[in-house]
Structure formats: structure tokens, C-alpha cells
Amino acid sequence: MTRRLRLGRRLGRERAADPDYETAMKWTQAFFDESIEHAWGLVPRRAFEMRLEQHYKSPRPQIYDQNVSWYALRNIVFAIGARLALSPTRLVPSLMDAQKQSWPFFENAFSVQVDLMYMPSGIINIEIFLLMMFYCEGITSPKLSYMLLGCATRLAQSKGLHLMPAAYTHVSETEDISRKYLWWIIYVHDKTTSLITARPSMISDKDVSVGLPTMARPDTATDLALFVNTIKLAQIVSVIVKKLVGPSARRRSYSKLTDLAASLESDLRHWQAGARIEDEEIPSSGSQSSHFRVRSTMRLELKLCYYCALCALHGTSRRPWEVPPEQEAEYLAQVQEAWPKIAEASRSLITLCQPCQVNAATPTRLAIYYPLVAVTNLFINVLENPTAQSVTADVNLIDMMTGTFARLEYATSGHLNITFPRELADFARGLLSRVRDSPPDTSLSSCLPTDLEMSLAQYNFNIPLDQVCSSKDPSYSFHDWLLEGTIC
């Protein structure tokens, strides 16, 4: 909350020069062939490559172009492409090295943010903010994506991208497709970010009148059907966040929350059946393998978002301190119904996370946040019922995630060292051992380790949240990573 959500230092005064022509072409090809940004429908390829060719044939500007949008666009494409091209399997030994070498080009684009936001512009500036947002969603980047998404959102709203164009505006078909794509990319990320960070959404659904895209954006690697399914899931997530996770949920009785959760769960299940997200995609004979890998990653993230939405849907049962005494019976009934669903969704999250390949551009939510949600939920499930038949398998699943985070630590040369899942797995195994060795009528509290009871007894629950978040005490490793390393 205090470190990775902001820059660690001011931008340098000097700007990085354009790479040589050969390097620029290599990074540009990596962007178009391997980036998730291009698969989302950003940056039509032929138009960009033609302009880049013209740029390298013309005399170089001394500092940067008078055309700020073009300067920012090519530099953020260089940054994304460089990070992909400089993966550890090729030229550099660590993900952090790939990040370090690509960062100066992100700084170039970021340095003209004020001009992009406040000078006269077209929709290309919205696209640039989205590209910078995607770059900052990578696991090795500072977590600036929320603020960059805010810039893209407000700029898009100021240009009316959220509205159905009036008939007299005579918007061309190509521009109409581009406007829809940019708006719905913003919408999806606004709603999913709100789900995983509990930050307020910047978009009210009642203000949106633009229709869903019916044609793929030309000259991009986008998958229209996948994109539309992603939008529809985000629309359901929007209702979940507004009615079950947000402040308004606390004013509803638990019986109303249960009915609302049942209705939204039905919507999610209906979406799952229609989207067929569990079906494996079969590459066509003409598809490029790199594009297929990127789309597979997008499908994986869509599945993870679905199961995370299920966890959030039933997650109101995890706030017992908010239950009025007169609603305690309703609360207990909801817990009994909700927790098996949360546990099952968490198991699916962990299973899906295993084959995820990590590089410097891997989104933080995919590599860190979704696994931590699953691990935490399964650990609480073990505490809820340590004698259930499923607890041994659940602890094994938590153990599987310790291996995933160990792989992440190795890939980043120790920069991302997340010990929380390992600590939970060790604690859960110790708890199960004590439960098995105890008489049948022994209470759960008597099976807790003595050091845990002492630490809870000494803990000051009145510490303000901002002090907890800024704590440098390594014993708060979970708070550090959940609040600093995973929010994007």
C-alpha cells in the first residue's frame, strides 16, 4: 500500500533514446506476436509498423517528437516488447533484468502523461493509457495500473466512448469498432480491479449506453467471442461488487443477502454454461502458436476471475463481526451453505494456477492475487472443520501453491519472496496432527499452537490500518504482500 503502489523515485530528467532500427523491429515483433495487449485488441499492426518505418527513415528529433501521442505510443510498445523479448530463456537471467531494461521506455511514455491527458487529443491517447496500465500490471512493475486506468476512464468518458454515438455524428465503421473496444477494455478492468482490491468502481452501469462489439477490431489479434464473454462476466461482477461486497451490502439482512447471492450465482452459472470456459481451445491450422498461447492465458484468467467471483459472491459469510445479535441464526445458516461453495471454487483456483507460465509481463492478479485468495480460503476451511475428510487434500493443495510461489521467487531472483502460503501449510499440518492426536471431545482452541495463542493475546486490534500497511516488521509478511504486492 505504501511502496509498490507508487514509484520508488522520481523520473529522471534525461529520456532514453530510441533503440536502433534492428532492435526496434525485434521488440515490435515481440509486442505483436506475444503480448496480451495486442490480443485485447490494442494497436492495429500494419498502421503502427508503417509509421515506425517512416519514423526511422526521417531525421531524428533531438529530444522527442512534437507529436506527443506518437512518441508515447512507440515507447510503450518498445517497453512491452522489450520485456517480452528479453525473457530469461533468451538474453537475460532474471525477470527483474527484463523489467530493468524495458523500464526507461515506459518512463519515456509516462513522462508525457500530462500532455496526453490535458492537451487536445484523439482516442489514441486512451489507448496509450491502457497500454501503460497493462505494462504496470506485470508482476515486476510498480503497481500504478489503478491510477493509469483512472486516466483512461476519465478521458474516455470525456470523449463519450461510453455512449451510443448519435446518428448525426457519422462515425466510420472502423472508428466505431475502435471506440467500443477501448471502452469495454476499460470497463472490464475497472470492474475486475474493483472485485480484487475492494476499491470503488469508476463506472456506473446506468450511465453506459454503448453496445457490445459485434466485429473484431481490424488488424489485431483479438478474439471477439472471448472478449464479449469477458465483458458479460464483468457485468455480473459489477453487480456482485455493488450489492454484496460494497458498503450497501452491510445495510441488508442476511436473508436478503442469501437470496441475492442465489440469484447472482444463477447468473454466473448461466454465463459459465454459455461461455463454455471449461472447454479446451483447439488451435486452427493457420493460427500462430504465440497467439494461441496468449489467448490461452486470457482464457485462464477468465476462468480464474469466474471462480474468484464465486468466492466474493459467498464471501459475506466471512464477516462475523458485522452480524447483529438478532441476525445470528440467519448468519450461521448462510455460513453452512456458503463455505462449501467457497472451498470448491478455491480448489478450482489452485488447480488452474498450476500450469501458468510466469514471465515479467504475467499479470499480478494471475500469478499472486488469485492464488492467495484460494490459499486463504482453503486455510479457513481447514480451521472451520479440521476433522472433515477433505482437509488433507486441502492442505496438499495449499502445499502445491508453496511450490508455485517458490518458482516465482526463483524466476525473480528472490525479489518476490512470498512465504505466507508456506506458513499456512505448516500451520495447517500442525493443527491436523494435534487434532488427530487429541481426544474426540477436545475443542479446536486447545489444539492451536501456544505461540499463536500468545501472539493473538498480545496483538493490538486497535492499530490503524495505515500503520499496519506501512509496518516494516517482517513478521507481517502476509500484509506486506497482500496489500503491497498483489493489488493492481
Model pLDDT, residue 65: 63
pLDDT at position 351 over 50? yes
Q: Which of 37-41, 216-220, 410-414, 457-461 has the lowest mean pLDDT?
A: 457-461
Q: Which of 93-102, 210-219, 373-382 has the lowest mean pLDDT?
A: 93-102
Q: Which of 62-71, 198-207, 372-381 has the lowest mean pLDDT?
A: 62-71
Instruction: Dump pLDDT digits (tens) for 392-404.
Output: 999 999 999 988 8
Confidence of residue 457 (pLDDT cuts 50, 70, 90): very low
- Would you list the domain boundaries of the chain? 1-219
Q: Which of residues 404 and 304 earns the better pLDDT score?
A: 304
Model pLDDT, residue 235: 98
Instruction: Dump pLDDT digits (tens) for 159-174.
Output: 999 999 887 778 899 9
Q: Which of residues 335 and 106 earns the better pLDDT score?
A: 106
SS3 string of the chain?
CCCCCCCCCCCCCCCCCCCCHHHHHHHHHHHHHHCHHHHCCCCCHHHHHHHHHHHHHCCCCCCCCCCHHHHHHHHHHHHHHHHHHCCCCCCCCCHHHHHHHHHHHHHHHHCCHHHHHHCCCCCHHHHHHHHHHHHHCECCCCCCHHHHHHHHHHHHHHCCCCCCCCHHHCCCHHHHHHHHHHHHHHHHHHHHHHHHHCCCCCCCHHHCCCCCCCCCCCCCCCCHHHHHHHHHHHHHHHHHHHHHHCHHHHHCCHHHHHHHHHHHHHHHHHHHHHHCCCCCCCCCCCCCHHHHHHHHHHHHHHHHHHHHHHHHHCHHHHCHHHCCHHHHHHHHHHHHHHHHHHHHHHHHHHHHHCCCCCCCCCEHHHHHHHHHHHHHHHHHHHHHCCCCCCHHHHHHHHHHHHHHHHHHHHHCCCCCCCCHHHHHHHHHHHHHHHHHHCCCCCCCHHHCCHHHHHHHHHCCCCCCHHHHHCCCCHHHHHHHHHHHHCCC
Return the percentage of the chain with pLDDT > 90, whole number. Answer: 49
Instruction: Dump pLDDT digits (tens) for 205-248.
Output: 999 999 999 999 999 999 999 999 999 999 999 999 998 887 77
Model pLDDT, residue 207: 96
Mean of the per-residue pLDDT values for the chain? Answer: 83
Q: Which of 88-97, 110-119, 261-270, 311-320 has the lowest mean pLDDT?
A: 88-97
Confidence of residue 325 (pLDDT cuts 50, 70, 90): confident
Q: Which whole number is the average pLDDT over 124-138?
A: 97
Model pLDDT, residue 440: 63
Q: Which of 17-21, 82-86, 475-479 has the lowest mean pLDDT?
A: 475-479
Q: Which whole number is the average pLDDT over 465-476?
A: 36
Model pLDDT, residue 432: 85
pLDDT at position 61 over 60? no
Confidence of residue 473 (pLDDT cuts 50, 70, 90): very low
Q: Which whole number is the average pLDDT over 152-157?
A: 98
Q: Which whole number is the average pLDDT over 470-488?
A: 36
Model pLDDT, residue 387: 83
